[in-house]
């Protein structure tokens, strides 16, 4: 009798989990708390794209397991903004649990490339047409993928680990010309990024800083002060855990 009751309860919980996970058409962007690194899930119905996968600490795989339906083991796309371990180190662990249909890196993507699924669009702004991973000694951060995630009239700007020089090129060449509601702050809030030129143009209402315990001084005091002067609300994964945005 006891075993039968437990079986009924288990079946009930599975049905509840299935019902909660039913597609509702909304786009969710989850900035996972992966420690000192970057990892985000873009999820609509049964379609998912990852933008970076965090360091080699299993936290990205845990974040996927936390939010995605337990039966969904396929990821439509993974974008690695660059090869640093804090952005790409978690890939092997993710691949142990999920089938990845397409993988992209800064070696594959160039300015104006567009990745689409459903009504979601990710438009690449950096690296430029010339340069790339092997172009003239440019650093990984300079070649970091920068892109705009767009759904209907909502935009989230993912800055990877881009430097101020990259930001200024995007602004001056008018590669970046639209406002974005949300800014994923460059390089965990490093003082090398998030320039006034960028903030004047983008005017985000919310900035997300993906950061963990570190010895680099991230996020930098001047970056936090700069965001404050522009009236931007700041959410940090080291303080709030996962940051979930519904578009």
Characterize 59-71 residue by residue with b for buried, 16 or more Cβ atoms within 10 angstroms of its Cβ, and e for exposed: bbbbbbeeebeee
DSSP strand pairing (146-151 vs 120-126):
antiparallel
pLDDT beyond 60 at 33 = yes
When the candidates are 3.30.1330.40, 3.40.50.300, 3.60.15.10, 3.30.1300.10, the CATH number that belongs to 2-246 is 3.60.15.10
**Closest Cα partner for 25 from 44, 49, 11, 8?**
44
Element (H, E) at 226: helix 221-229
Q: And the tokens for 45?
A: 């119905």
Q: What is the pLDDT of residues 202-232, one digit of tens each?
A: 999 999 999 999 999 999 999 999 999 999 9
Residues in the chain: 247
**Closest Cα partner for 157 from 135, 137, 175?**
175
Question: Residue 119: what pLDDT?
Answer: 86
User: Residue 24 — very low, low, confident or very high, per pLDDT cuts 50/70/90?
Assistant: confident
Question: Residue 46: what pLDDT?
Answer: 85
Taking the C-alpha atoms of residue 62 and residue 79, their distance in angstroms, rounded to an integer, is 18
pLDDT beyond 70 at 94 = yes
Residues whose CB falls within 8 Å of the CB of residue 240, separated by 6 or more in sequence, listed in order: none
Taking the C-alpha atoms of residue 77 and residue 18, their distance in angstroms, rounded to an integer, is 24
User: Residue 14 — very low, low, confident or very high, per pLDDT cuts 50/70/90?
Assistant: low
User: Residue 7 — very low, low, confident or very high, per pLDDT cuts 50/70/90?
Assistant: low
- Residue 17 C-alpha from the chain's centroid: 26
Q: What is the pLDDT of residues 132-146, one digit of tens each?
A: 443 333 478 999 999
**Closest Cα partner for 159 from 74, 99, 227?**
227
């Amino acid at each position: 009798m006891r075993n039968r009751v437990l079986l009924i309860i288990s079946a009930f919980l599975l049905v509840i989990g299935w019902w909660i996970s039913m597609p509702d058409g909304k786009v969710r962007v989850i900035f996972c708390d992966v420690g000192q690194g970057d990892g985000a899930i873009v999820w609509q119905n049964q379609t998912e794209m990852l933008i970076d996968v965090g360091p080699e600490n299993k936290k990205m795989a845990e974040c996927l397991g936390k939010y995605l339906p337990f039966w969904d083991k396929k990821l439509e796309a993974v974008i690695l903004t660059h090869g640093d371990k804090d952005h790409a180190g978690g890939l092997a662990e993710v691949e142990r649990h999920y089938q990845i249909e397409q993988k992209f890196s800064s070696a594959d993507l160039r300015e104006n490339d567009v990745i689409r699924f459903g009504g979601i669009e990710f438009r690449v702004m950096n690296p430029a047409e010339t340069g790339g991973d092997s172009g003239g000694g440019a650093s990984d951060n300079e070649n970091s993928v920068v892109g705009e995630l767009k759904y209907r009239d909502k935009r989230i700007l993912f800055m990877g680990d881009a430097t101020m020089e990259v930001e200024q090129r995007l602004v001056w060449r008018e590669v970046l010309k639209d406002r974005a509601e949300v800014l994923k702050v460059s390089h965990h809030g490093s003082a090398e990024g998030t320039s006034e030129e960028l903030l004047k143009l983008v005017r985000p209402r919310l900035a997300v800083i993906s950061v963990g315990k570190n010895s680099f001084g991230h996020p930098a005091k001047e970056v936090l002060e700069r965001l404050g002067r522009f009236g931007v609300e700041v959410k940090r994964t080291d303080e709030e855990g996962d940051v979930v945005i519904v578009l």
